[in-house]
Amino acid sequence: MSNGPKRNAARTREKLLEAAIEEFAANGFAGARIDRIAAAAGISKPMLYAYFGDKDALFEAALTQEIMAAADLDRFDPYDLEDYAGRTYDLLATRPQLWRLLTWHHLERGQDILLLPAGQDLLKAKQEGIAKAQTEGRIRRDFAPMDVIRLVAALSQLWCMSEPARSKREHNARRTTVKRAVARLLIES
């Protein structure tokens, strides 16, 4: 019997985060409404506050969940930046709410998403992997590891502001462009 409430609490938290991700992705932090999130999750506003404390904490939890889910789905490989960029493009094409949350975070908070607490270990591992690949001559050394991370991210997001690809062929052409750009800009020949 003691497992029931824990499962319900976990499911309630999950439903709240799902609703928050949708609301924040659609409306940003400023435009999102706690009452809409609570209603979509099927709970009361006071219960939402009991779980997350305030709107800021809920936004950060929603964004963190999306970032960590993306990291789980798309493992970084400094020895194959091209394919990593292509996979990241695929991920953003299939999870547009992630890109929207990232964009709202930048626009409304003016903060670097890479510096969020939840991403620190991921960021450190990426920088170390890139530095190692650079010393081995696989990635160009004229970019700092953090610049490499930012360039791959920017190129992967190339089509996020335009309409989705209308066909598999168009999607693949965009993906190929991302991969070629990363290869030409960052990979040692």
pLDDT at residue 5, rounded to an integer: 52
Whole-angstrom distance, CA of residue 61 vs CA of residue 49: 13
pLDDT at residue 112, rounded to an integer: 66
Q: Which long-range contacts (CB under 8 A, 24 or more apart) does 66-70 make?
A: 66/21, 66/95, 66/97, 66/98, 66/101, 67/98, 67/113, 67/116, 67/118, 67/119, 68/118, 70/95, 70/98
pLDDT at residue 144, rounded to an integer: 97
pLDDT at residue 1, rounded to an integer: 47
Domain ranges of the chain: 1-64, 74-189
50, amino acid identity: A
As a three-state string, the secondary structure of the chain is CCHHHHHHHHHHHHHHHHHHHHHHHHHHHHHCCHHHHHHHHCCCHHHHHHHHCCHHHHHHHHHHHHHHHHHHHCCCCCCCHHHHHHHHHHHHHHCHHHHHHHHHHHHHHCCCHHHCHHHHHHHHHHHHHHHHHHHCCCECCCCCHHHHHHHHHHHHCCCCCCCCCCCHHHHHHHHHHHHHHHHHHHECC
pLDDT at residue 111, rounded to an integer: 66
Question: Which residues does the chain have with pLDDT short of 70?
Answer: 1-7, 111-116, 118
CATH T-level assignment (fold) for domain 74-189 = Tetracycline Repressor; domain 2 (1.10.357)
Q: Considering only the top CATH level, what class is 1-64?
A: mainly alpha
pLDDT, tens only, 104-120:
888 887 766 666 676 77
53 φ/ψ sector (left φ>0, alpha ψ -120 to 50, else beta): left
